Structure 1
Amino acid sequence: MPSRKIWTGSINFGLVTIPVGLYAATENHTIQFHQFERGTNDRVRYKRVNERTGKELGYDDIVKGREYGGAVVTVEPSELDEIAPGRSRTIDITAFVDLAEIDPVHFQKTYWLAPNSKEQFRPYNLLRAAMRETNQAGIATFVLRGKEYLTAVRADEGVLALNTLFFADEIRDPAEIISDSAEQAAPSDKELQMATTVIDSMSESWEPDKYADTYTAKVEELLAEKAAGHQPETAEAPPSPTDVIDLTEALQRSVDQARGGRSRSGSDGEELTGMNKAELEDRAKKLGIRGRSKMNRAALEKAVAAASHGPRGRSKAS
């Protein structure tokens, strides 16, 4: 189903204006639940009620407002539009910056931008190609649904992307949660070398298609099991945090596991190496491997490889 246009306006840079539409780049697959009174099939619903009179209100009966100077001040949508005419219709690029200079903590949500007509593809593609060539992002502000956003317009594969950004004063200072004792807990050279060995042995190319939302799948399975009158299987508890005393031992075991997982050869070994963790967990479940939820990917691969073969090396799972 084609994505729905959620905003129409234009990108302005220099004296160039490109009419565009804004589209959501992502979609949420989270399972949505209704609310019911416990022990019944009765839906629980929320109403918009005047807290003084108890009267239920429609959307048109409600305006925005807040306390200001000891009084309640309300505003109409038209009044919000009038204080910044045109701001909600244009994405005005005021500067270009190196995309690599933007700290990922500022990125909020991604949208796609597309030209509104075939005639606008030439200036649209020109801006995209120029930003791709220079690795620059256009910094702009615009108003969407009554809120002003700081944005970065950037070149993606075949399309312009718009990322909404958090303003600087919306980023919390990490010093508020990281104490001075963090500097006193510096790792030893040996620990650092072992940790980098683990990272190197687990490094691979970024392939987003290898990862899936396993929790949503488990929620779907839970609903299906309960609908069929079955008692769902309880997952095992996560592993306990590594104690400081055991840190070196845990690192050494991680190095051994990672090296072992990468050193296997043969068709079965290559197949397991190509699996993501969710696929390995599913294979481990079919093989009845206990403690699988506590294993990392390397340990899962090793356990599945060991459990998948009988005395003659014949595969048990398919």
Structure 2
Amino acid sequence: MARPVWAGNLSFGLVSLPVGLYTATGSHTIHFHQLQRGTSDRIRNRRVNERTGDEVQLDDIVKGFDTGDEYVLVEPKELDEIAPGRSRSLEIAGFVDLAEVDPIFFDKTYYLGPKSADFGKVYSLLEQALAKAGKAGIATFVMRQHEYLVALKSENGLLTLHTLHWADEIRDPKKEIDTLPGKAKASAKELTMAEQLIGAMSMDWDPERFHDTFQEKVAALIEAKKTGESVEKAEPPAEPTGVVDLMEALRASIERAGSPKATSGKATASGRATASSGKTPPAKKRIHSTPKEDLTGLTKADLYKKAAAANLPGRSHMSRDDLVKALTSART
């Protein structure tokens, strides 16, 4: 089991609950080492004194704030001593409607769990109450020498903690983007067609439909370079749509997606038309391979490519053995 990245007391009113904070997300990004071109020599980063050129050990490094004329040195221990909430508490200041928190404020998500089963009742009470009220608890707490503004939510039977950006961290888009359209208005016909296109492309939210295709291509590229094979290059990006071509682009897009008037319904998450369209749903993709193929002898990269071709959900998180089992199951 994972270890909590933070532990302390969650309190609301006079109720206190010992909790642990757990990382909710992971990354499947393929990581590369830096090498000197033409060699297999690793390039490593070192902490070097810019005056002497000597490497400095981590224990000999302190934080320094540049005032212009001098550096004010601060030891890590001093930051811990003045940190607000150093008693490791997460105290809810109040509860707000979820709809009131603009999505731009949300940053990172954590799972929150009770310290032990003894506190399950208090944990469940808060989770159920938040779910029924449709509200989020707002609090601040300190983790790793940083203070965070957070929102505590109920999601699928557990408590989640979402770090939020501070108000002064949200940038004004009008100051950041000088190409905003301002008072430019679309015609009524253009707006109607755009709404029709949105309707034709509407679907149910299914995150398993989407996967990191770029990482799959990176894995395929690595495997191809190992075997000396060539890799198919991606198609060039589409040309920008000009104002003159806007209506024709909208009309063609609606025809391709399936006009709501023609289908009398929306497309589902799997790309099927509703029953009223009269169209037969496409068959689910299967793996077509010879019965004699031994999947256990393939590399993980080869297995992953087959899983991608079969559109197996959750493949990015599977181990090599998991891929073999899933592919074998899909073939039977």
TM-score normalised per structure 1: 0.81
* Corresponding residue of 2:35: 36
8 Å CA contact 1:88, 1:144 repeated in 2: no
* Corresponding residue of 1:287: none
Secondary structure of the 1:160 match is: strand
* Corresponding residue of 2:321: none
* Corresponding residue of 1:78: 77
Secondary structure of the 1:87 match is: coil
5+ unaligned residues in a row in structure 2: which ranges? 260-270, 286-305, 311-332
* Corresponding residue of 2:226: 227
Secondary structure of the 1:200 match is: helix
Could you list the per-position Cα deviations for residues 263-286 of structure 1 after superposition, in whole angstroms to 9, with x for gaps in the alignment?
Answer: 57225x3648xxxxxx9x959xxx
Secondary structure of the 1:12 match is: strand
2:100 equivalent to 1:101: yes
Question: 2-side partners of 1:116 and 1:151: how far apart?
Answer: 19
What amino acid is aligned across from residue 265 of structure 1 in structure 2?
K
Could you list the per-position Cα deviations for residues 41-71 of structure 1 after superposition, in whole angstroms to 9, with x for gaps in the alignment?
Answer: 1111111111112221111111111112621
Question: 2-side partners of 1:181 and 1:219: how far apart?
Answer: 35
* Corresponding residue of 1:17: 16
* Corresponding residue of 1:198: 197
8 Å CA contact 2:85, 2:142 repeated in 1: no
Question: 2-side partners of 1:210 and 1:79: how far apart?
Answer: 49
* Corresponding residue of 1:186: 185
Secondary structure of the 1:20 match is: strand
Flag the 1:69–1:225 CA change in 2: closer, same or farther, 3 A: closer
8 Å CA contact 2:140, 2:148 repeated in 1: yes
Could you list the per-position Cα deviations for residues 76-107 of structure 1 after superposition, in whole angstroms to 9, with x for gaps in the alignment?
Answer: 11111111364361111101100111000000
TM-score normalised per structure 2: 0.78
* Corresponding residue of 2:142: 143
What RMSD over aligned residues (CA atoms) do the two structures have, in Å? 2.2
2:253 equivalent to 1:254: yes
2:250 equivalent to 1:236: no
Question: 1-side partners of 2:43 and 2:106: how far apart?
Answer: 36
5+ unaligned residues in a row in structure 1: which ranges? 273-278, 284-318
* Corresponding residue of 1:218: 217
Match of 1:265 among 273, 279, 282: 279
Flag the 1:240–1:91 CA change in 2: closer, same or farther, 3 A: same
Query: Superposition pairs for residues 299-318 of structure 1, below 5 Å?
Result: none
Query: Superposition pairs for residues 38-187 of structure 1, below 5 Å?
Result: 38-68=37-67, 70-84=69-83, 86-87=85-86, 89-179=88-178, 182-187=181-186
